[in-house]
Amino acid sequence: MKVLIAGAGIAGSTLAQALAQMGIDYQVIEQADAFREVGAGIQLSPNGVRILDRLGLSDGLAAVSTEPDFHKYSVWDSGETVLKTPLKPMVRETYGFPYYHAHRADLIELLTQNLDRSRVMMNEKIVTVDQDSGGVAVTCESGNSYKGDVLIGADGIHSVVREQFFRPDPPRPSGYVTWRGVVDADAIAHLDIPVSAYVDMGPRLSFVYYYVSGGKRLNWLALGQTNDPKRESWNQTATREEIIDAFEGWYERPKAVISATPEVFVTSLHDREPLASWVSERVALMGDAAHAMLPYHAQGAVQSLEDAWVLARCLQGMNATDALKHYESLRFDRANLMVQQSRNAEGWYHVDTPEEIESRNERFRKTNARLAGGFSPQQHWLYSYDAEKAAAGTDHEWQALCPWA
Ligand X SMILES: Cc1cc2nc3c(=O)[nH]c(=O)nc-3n(C[C@H](O)[C@H](O)[C@H](O)COP(=O)(O)OP(=O)(O)OC[C@H]3O[C@@H](n4cnc5c(N)ncnc54)[C@H](O)[C@@H]3O)c2cc1C
> What is the DSSP-derived secondary structure letter of residue 299?
-
Per-residue x/- track, 27-56, ligand X (CB under 6 A): --xxxx---------xx-------------
User: What minimum distance in Å lies between the beta carbon of 93 and ligand X?
Assistant: 22
Residue nearer to ligand X on the CB measure, 156 or 254: 156
> Which member of 73, 198, 210, 383 is catalytic?
210
Question: With CB under 6 A as the contact rule, which of the stretches 252-260, 299-307, 325-333, 338-346 interacts with ligand X?
Answer: 299-307
Query: What is the contact mask toward ligand X in residues 303 to 342, using x (rule: CB under 6 A)?
Result: -x--------------------------------------
Distant-in-sequence, close-in-space partners of 89: CB < 8 Å, separation ≥ 6: none
Nearer to ligand X, 95 or 361 (CB): 95
- Supply the minimum distance, in Å, between the C-beta of residue 267 and ligand X: 6
H or E element that contains 383: helix 377-383
Examine the residue annotation and report whether 210 is marked as an active-site residue of this protein.
Answer: yes
Q: How far is the CB of 362 from ligand X (least distance, A)?
A: 27
CA pair distance 5, 123, nearest whole angstrom: 14
The only residue of 8, 16, 57, 183 in contact with ligand X, by rule CB under 6 A: 8
Q: Who's near 63: CB < 8 A, 6+ residues apart?
A: 214
How many residues bind ligand X (CB under 6 A)? The answer is: 30
The Cα–Cα gap between 242 and 248 comes to 11
The piece of 65-73, 298-306, 354-362, 394-402 that touches ligand X (CB under 6 A) is 298-306
DSSP-derived 3-state class of residue 321: helix
Pairing of strands 150-153, 283-285: parallel
The only residue of 4, 51, 87, 154 in contact with ligand X, by rule CB under 6 A: 154
Helix axes 10-21, 104-112, angle to 10 degrees: 30
**Three-class SS state of 69:** coil
Give me the least distance between CB of 372 and ligand X, in Å please. Answer: 26
CB of 13 to ligand X, least distance (A): 7
21 — alpha (psi -120 to 50), left (phi > 0) or beta? alpha
Q: What is the DSSP string of 48-94?
A: HHHHHHHTT-HHHHHHH-B--SEEEEEETTT--EEEEEE-TTHHHHH
Report the 10 Å Cβ neighbour count for 332: 18
Q: Is 330 exposed, middle or buried (0-12, 13-18, 19+ CB in 10 A)?
A: buried
- Is there binding between residue 125 and ligand X (CB under 6 A)? yes
Q: Would you say 110 and 256 are in contact if contact means Cβ atoms under 8 Å apart?
A: no
Q: What is the nearest approach in angstroms of ligand X to the Cβ of residue 139?
A: 11
Looking at the annotation, which residues are catalytic?
A: 210
Contact footprint for ligand X (CB under 6 A): 6-12, 29-32, 42-43, 125-126, 154-156, 160, 178, 221, 287-288, 295, 298-302, 304
